[in-house]
């Protein structure tokens, strides 16, 4: 006659399984996060490669404002109504230089321009004149669909992207010319952020911040904590096409800083906006070492 397990033996086995699960589950979670970070790094390296192929086709120049037919689909929009094509549409200009099919950026999260670490419910949006300027073309040729119409004009286009273009490439004189940069291996091309473009006074959009700072941050609308980054850091693609993760370094008062002028970030470096910035990393000409 077979002897059955006693209650004590069953409880011991269950306890052992529970202990092993408690030990292994965090290990599995860390392995999953590491795999996502590896994919994220691969995405950003491929974006850097696509940028290099693009500028090879366009006389060593990054995307910038077209000189003619600024908004071919809506002639009523002037140049002042739309910022540079590099700021808002760069991923669609680079898409032909990747292995992605047309429409993937607008339709699915599994594309080179959306990090596997980013929140799934956080698509980007081109709204107002940014949408009207490219609708119906070239938006439809890029595989995009209009989410909202306002009268006869497209008012909102949704797409999946979690990387931000260095805005100074478009608004710093001469910066769109790749040969103008003194330190391409130390200059930012793409950063992980919640907008399609970023500069040194918009670092509240970086995914690395984990604290809510609406009470003290200069831009309360964007002062909520973002995706939390990866162990407190962010991955950056540089102008020479290499990409790497680096720890975020906060200012003297931590993530939220003070309104007394203390920098909120020391790395990436906090800067002012506009075309008078002279900071390494952001612009081709810099004053700091």
CA dihedral 199, 201, 202, 204 (to 10 degrees): 140
Whether residue 116 sits in one domain with residue 187: no
Where is the domain boundary, 98, 130, 160? 160
Domain end: 126, 160, 194, which one? 160
pLDDT for res 45: 94
Let me know whether 174 and 239 are in one domain: yes
Distant-in-sequence contacts of 53-56, Cβ < 8 A, 24+ apart: 53/97, 54/93, 54/94, 54/97, 55/178
Do 124 and 170 belong to one domain? no
Q: Is 259 a domain residue?
A: yes
What does the alpha-carbon distance between residue 185 and residue 189 come to, in Å, rounded to a whole number? 10
CA distance 109 to 90: 17
146 & 77 share domain: yes
289 in a domain, yes or no?
no
Q: Are residues 107 and 169 in the same domain?
A: no
One domain, residues 81 and 129: yes
Last residue of a domain, one of 118, 141, 160: 160
Q: Which helix (H) or strand (E) holds 288?
A: none
156 and 237 in a single domain? The answer is: no
**272 falls within a domain:** no
- How far is Cα 181 from Cα 286, in angstroms, rounded to an integer? 10
Are 72 and 92 within one domain?
Answer: yes
Say how many domains are in the chain. 2
Amino acid 200: pLDDT: 86
Element (H, E) at 190: strand 188-192
Residue 241 lies in a domain: yes
Q: How far apart are CA 175 and CA 189, in angstroms?
A: 11
Residue 20 domain-assigned (yes or no):
no
Handedness of CA 6, 10, 13, 19 (dihedral sign): negative
Judge if 187 and 236 occupy the same domain: yes
Q: Are residues 125 and 139 located together in one domain of the fold?
A: yes
Do both 172 and 216 map to the same domain?
yes
- What's the confidence (pLDDT) of residue 73? 57
- Burial of residue 70 (CB within 10 Å: 0-12, 13-18, 19+) is middle
DSSP E strands, 204-274: 233-238, 243-247, 249-250, 265-267
Contact between residue 140 and residue 103 where contact means Cβ atoms under 8 Å apart: no
**Same domain? 156 vs 213:** no
Residue 238 pairs with which residues in a beta bridge?
A: 188
Q: What is the pLDDT along the chain (289 residues), one digit of tens a residue?
A: 556 667 787 888 888 888 887 777 676 666 677 778 888 899 999 999 999 999 999 999 998 765 444 565 555 555 555 556 788 899 999 988 987 776 677 666 677 888 888 777 678 888 888 888 888 888 898 889 999 998 888 899 998 888 999 988 877 778 889 999 999 999 999 998 888 889 888 887 888 877 777 777 766 666 767 766 667 788 999 999 999 999 888 877 777 765 556 677 888 998 877 778 889 999 998 886 5
| HEC secondary structure over 131-170 | HHCCCCCCCHHHCCCEEEEECCEEEEEEECCCEEEECHHH
Residue 247, in any domain of the structure: yes
With contact defined as beta carbons under 8 Å apart, do 129 and 77 qualify? Answer: yes
Tell me which residue range forms the domain holding 172. Answer: 164-267
Q: Say if 34 falls within a structural domain.
A: no
Q: Is residue 151 part of a domain?
A: yes
φ and ψ at residue 155, rounded to 5 degrees:
-110, -10
């Amino acid at each position: 006659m077979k002897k059955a397990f006693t209650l004590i033996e069953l409880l011991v086995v269950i306890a052992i399984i529970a202990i092993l699960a408690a030990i292994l589950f965090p290990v599995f979670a860390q392995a999953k996060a590491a795999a996502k970070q590896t994919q994220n790094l691969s995405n950003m390296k491929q974006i850097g490669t696509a940028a290099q192929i693009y500028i090879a086709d366009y006389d060593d120049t990054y995307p910038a404002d077209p000189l003619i037919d600024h908004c071919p689909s809506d002639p009523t929009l002037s140049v002042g109504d739309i910022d540079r094509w590099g700021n808002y549409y760069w991923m669609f200009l680079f898409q032909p230089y990747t292995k992605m099919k047309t429409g993937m950026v607008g339709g699915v999260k599994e594309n080179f321009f959306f990090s596997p670490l980013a929140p799934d419910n956080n698509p980007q949006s081109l709204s107002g004149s940014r949408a009207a300027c490219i609708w119906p073309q070239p938006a439809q040729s890029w595989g995009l669909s209009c989410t909202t119409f306002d009268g006869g004009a497209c008012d909102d286009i949704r797409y999946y992207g979690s990387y931000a273009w260095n805005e100074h490439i478009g608004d710093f004189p001469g910066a769109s010319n790749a040969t103008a940069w003194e330190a391409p291996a130390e200059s930012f091309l793409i950063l992980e952020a919640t907008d399609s473009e970023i500069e040194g006074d918009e670092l509240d959009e970086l995914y690395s911040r984990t604290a809510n700072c609406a009470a003290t941050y200069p831009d309360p609308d964007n002062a909520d904590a973002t995706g939390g980054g990866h162990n407190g850091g962010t991955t950056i693609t540089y102008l020479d096409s290499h990409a790497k993760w680096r720890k975020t370094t906060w200012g003297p008062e931590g993530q939220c800083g003070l309104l007394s002028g203390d920098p909120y970030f020391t790395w990436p470096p906090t800067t002012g906006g506009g075309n008078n910035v002279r900071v390494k990393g952001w612009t081709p000409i810099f004053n700091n070492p």
